[in-house]
Amino acid sequence: MACVVCGVETKGAALLCGRCLGKIDDPLVFLPVSLDPISDHRLFQVASASLRIGPTSTADTTFSKGLEPALRLREIQASKDVGTLSQFINRYLMGLGIGLYLRGDERIPRRGLIWNIMKGAEGLEFNTEQWASASVRMGNIYSLLARALSTLPIDPSVALPLAQRNADTARRLYSRSLLYPSLNLASSANEAMLDHWTGDSNKALLTIERLLGFELSEDDRSHLMIVKATILVDTGETAKAVQIVESLPGMVKDSRVSRLKALTEGSE
Ligand SMILES: [Zn+2]
């Protein structure tokens, strides 16, 4: 095959060569894209003036605290207020649909701000629950990147080490939740998903099994069972997955369940 960007010959089915991969500044281009419901909301409901006016060449317009994330982030960074920064990143990622639980079907809006935030925040270490929570959400984005890089047709000699680096970063971010019991369940489940994506499905299933042994809310239990069924479908144990899907409470409305049902249809 050939690289779709520069035309150089590539190995196997790779459509992107290592050199062109290296030129990509924002690796979030590899993740499934979502429309941007938050900015639409701001524009139409909150009627954000600065979104309508856009950049201005005069010095007449000054911005201070406001709803625009990019401006707000700059202001918080300048103030060096740890609590506000943690809260901002946590809420911003939550607003984008990055939950504490890694689902696997997340879609990320195309905004340069997201990767800027993640690059800026990755090395910051604060001992607060808010920061641990923001870190779990950032970890989820790195996990999604690790999966994307190892499955997309990119020259594996460069894509795989990069996928590994993203997986390592995700694990490091998840480990920040160790001190906070309310986050442990999510970060362990997310790490199991990442283990599965990086080739250790047995370890992933053992983790999920261990977590299912805890006293859990209905929602937490359903999430873990969906994760387990997903891993089983991926590893070819469809019959077991069907059993799990059938045992889910009837009121569980989750797009992942519909997908699992479609994938396992006719295998009962
Ligand atoms: Zn190329």
Q: How far is the CA of 1 from the centre of ligand 1 (A)?
A: 11
Neighbours of ion ligand 1 (CB under 5 A): 3, 5-6, 17, 20
Q: How far is the CA of 251 from the centre of ligand 1 (A)?
A: 48
Residue-level pLDDT at 175: 96
Q: How far is the CA of 109 from the centre of ligand 1 (A)?
A: 25
Q: How far is the CA of 127 from the centre of ligand 1 (A)?
A: 42
Percent of the chain with pLDDT over 70: 87
User: pLDDT digit string (tens) for 158-201?
Assistant: 999 999 999 999 999 999 999 999 999 999 999 999 999 999 99
Could you give all domains of the chain from N- to C-terminal order, each with its CATH number? 25-53+64-197 (no CATH), 200-268 (1.25.40)
- Cα(228)–Cα(242) distance, rounded to whole angstroms? 11
| SS3 track for 31-100 | CCEECCHHHHHHHHHHCCHHHHHCCCCCCCCCCCCCCCHHHHHHHHHHHCCHHHHHHHHHHHHHHCCCCC
Rg (CA), the chain: 21
Q: How far is the CA of 11 from the centre of ligand 1 (A)?
A: 12
User: pLDDT digit string (tens) for 86-144?
Assistant: 999 998 888 888 899 999 988 888 788 889 889 888 778 889 999 999 999 999 999 99
- Cα(174)–Cα(218) distance, rounded to whole angstroms? 23
Residue-level pLDDT at 46: 47
Going 129 to 163 to 96 to 253, the CA torsion angle's sign is negative
Q: How far is the CA of 145 from the centre of ligand 1 (A)?
A: 20
Residue-level pLDDT at 2: 84
User: Residue 39 in contact with residue 51, Cβ under 8 Å?
Assistant: yes
pTM of the model as a whole: 0.82
Q: How far is the CA of 178 from the centre of ligand 1 (A)?
A: 41
